[in-house]
Homo-oligomer: A and B are copies of this chain.
Amino acid sequence: MKYHKIPDETIRRMPMYLRAFSMLKTEHQDTISSIHLAERLHLKPPQIRKDLSYFGAFGTRGIGYPVSSTAKQIRSILKLNITQKAALIGAGRLGAAIAEYPGFSMFGFDIAAIFDNEPSKIGTKVGKNVVEDISKISMIRDLDIHLAILAVPADAAQSVVDMLVGCHVKGILNLSPCYLVVPRSMKVVTIDLAMELGTLPYYM
């Protein structure tokens, strides 16, 4: 499988695999076949095999994939083997929920700074961090943070993004219902809960 371009869809599934392997590890299972993994994840076995094989031969024929070492491999493929620091912009209700969301640690993410523009929030503690004034956003560059999570109102999102560009941020998880203009070097993932919910009635 050398000299192959890796499909975007495969990358999108890698965190799923990582989460599954991490969970299997806590269940003290030390090996899993593509068949059983596929059942858990609601996927087909060949897809899992192909996805993983893009990055090398992790499995053992007749046995399956070794849980612990495969997890480690995926972590390093996704560059999650080192702690990835992230900045959270917006300390409202949603920001607070994100700051205390336990799921990030499984992937090695660390919310290393929180910013807001509301004077009453600055200085208060949210999760393990003290909320900083948005005017100090260049801290992000000084702290060598390259990821940002955007939990601000939609009409403020673009102006925050413009600031983040100057801070050398390379990836943004955007939770505002809006489209962001960014330089090509920046990767944005936007999630709008209402939009996701919007498809469901169609299928009922």
Residues of A near any B CB (own CB < 8 A): 11-12, 14-16, 18-19, 40-42, 77-80, 84, 86, 92-94, 96-98, 100-101, 103-104, 106-107, 109, 146-147, 149, 170-173, 177, 179, 187, 189, 191-204
Closest CB-CB distance, A167 to chain B, in whole Å?
14
In the bound complex, residues from chain B placing their C-beta under 8 Å from that of A11 are 199, 202-203
| Cα of A146 to Cα of B197 in the assembled complex, Å | 12
Check if A177 sits within 8 Å of B79, measured CB to CB.
no
Check if B78 sits within 8 Å of A202, measured CB to CB.
yes
| Cα of A116 to Cα of B173 in the assembled complex, Å | 28
| Cα of A11 to Cα of B202 in the assembled complex, Å | 8
Check if A187 sits within 8 Å of B171, measured CB to CB.
no
Check if A104 sits within 8 Å of B199, measured CB to CB.
no
Check if B200 sits within 8 Å of A189, measured CB to CB.
yes
Check if A199 sits within 8 Å of B189, measured CB to CB.
yes
| Cα of A107 to Cα of B104 in the assembled complex, Å | 29
In the bound complex, residues from chain B placing their C-beta under 8 Å from that of A40 are 179
Check if A204 sits within 8 Å of B103, measured CB to CB.
no
In the bound complex, residues from chain B placing their C-beta under 8 Å from that of A179 are 40-42
Check if A173 sits within 8 Å of B193, measured CB to CB.
yes
- Chain B residue nearest to A170 (CB atoms) is B204
Contact A147:B197 (CB < 8 A) given known A79-B202, A187-B203: yes
Check if B194 sits within 8 Å of A109, measured CB to CB.
yes
| Cα of A194 to Cα of B99 in the assembled complex, Å | 11
The listed residue (B92, B189, B194) touching A107 by CB distance below 8 A is B194
Check if B78 sits within 8 Å of A109, measured CB to CB.
no
| Cα of A146 to Cα of B203 in the assembled complex, Å | 11
